[in-house]
Amino acid sequence: MRPRSLSRSIRRTFSTSLATLALVGGAAALAPADAVAAGRLQPDLVVELMMTNVLNPAEGETFYAQIDIRNNGTGASDPISATVAVPVGLRTTTPSVGDPGWTCTAVSTTSYTCSHPQLAAGGRASRLSVPFVVTGAAPGSKVPITTSITPQRREANTDYNTGSVTVAISGTCVIRGSVWHDLDRDGQREADEPAIAGGPDGVLDVRLWNRQGQAIGGGSATVNPDGTWSITARTEVLYEVRLEAAATYGRTVADVGDDATDSDIVTSYQFEPTLLVASAEFEAVHDGEYVVDAGLVSQS
């Protein structure tokens, strides 16, 4: 039989240990709530993507800025308030209807204010499309559009509450050239080498090809009897001159010798049932003039 005093001592120690465990366990149980209270489960709203549906709008045209906003945080956001600034050279117009969840209002001509319900952690808002009209922007200029989110509560990171995109304003340029028969196949046009005119036995078509799906531009021309052609085209776009001719021709060597008298056609796409050849790609800018000459040889 143990002494009573030892038994009381054991009970006191056991009680103290239980109290300590309860305190620790209680603290552990409260940790999630404490984390919320301390702001550890926080929203993190970001402008994830900004782009425009047209890369090179021109004066008087309407285009759209397209904006993706996401909550990258660990907690839900409050309702979202975003401002889309309208720079000089553009103006607001009637906001679109049909972006689920978004409501936008034009603030004079200088900005849009757009609102969206709260986003859960990891959630992405439906894409926001905001219209702009080109009004007075200089052709060839690059105009920035900015979206800013105003957080309604503390966020884990505010570095990406703003996003921007730059849109190039289209102007015009001239793209021209001549087509000739390179009799000696040396890639240079001599005085006695004749032009190749347009027609079923000569050049069928000259066309500007634009590989940028969101850029507006292009054009085509028929070739004159003296072998010359010219196209006035939109700018701030990448072009390739493509020439289609009768299959009796092939292309001569390119970029040999004097640039003023050489051939600028570097690629052959097909030889039958017609010849299809092309220049290198180049960027057309406002007020530019581009000369793309084509030397063709007889097919052996």
pLDDT, averaged across the chain: 88
Mean pLDDT of 278-295: 98
Express each pLDDT in 14-45 by its tens digit: 344 434 433 334 444 433 433 444 547 899 99
Tell whether the model's pLDDT for residue 300 goes beyond 80.
no
Tell whether the model's pLDDT for residue 63 goes beyond 90.
yes
DSSP annotation of 6 = H
- Please indicate, yes or no, whether residues 260 and 212 belong to a single structural domain of this protein: yes
The CATH number assigned to the domain holding 294 equals 2.60.40.10
Mean pLDDT of 127-145: 96
- Please indicate, yes or no, whether residues 160 and 277 belong to a single structural domain of this protein: no
Q: Which of 121, 147, 168 is the last residue of a domain?
A: 168
What pTM, to 2 d.p., does this model score? 0.80
Q: Is 58 strand, coil or helix?
A: coil
Q: How far apart are CA 220 and CA 243, in angstroms?
A: 10
Q: How far apart are CA 202 and CA 223, in angstroms?
A: 9
Tell whether the model's pLDDT for residue 114 goes beyond 50.
yes
Q: Is 3 strand, coil or helix?
A: coil
Q: How far apart are CA 75 and CA 68, in angstroms?
A: 19
pLDDT for the residue numbered 97: 67
Burial label for 108, CB within 10 Å (0-12, 13-18, 19+), is exposed
pLDDT for the residue numbered 154: 80
Residue listed under structure tokens 């009573």: 4
Domain that holds residue 220: 172-298
Q: Among 91-95, 262-266, 283-287, which stretch is predicted with the lowest mean pLDDT?
A: 91-95
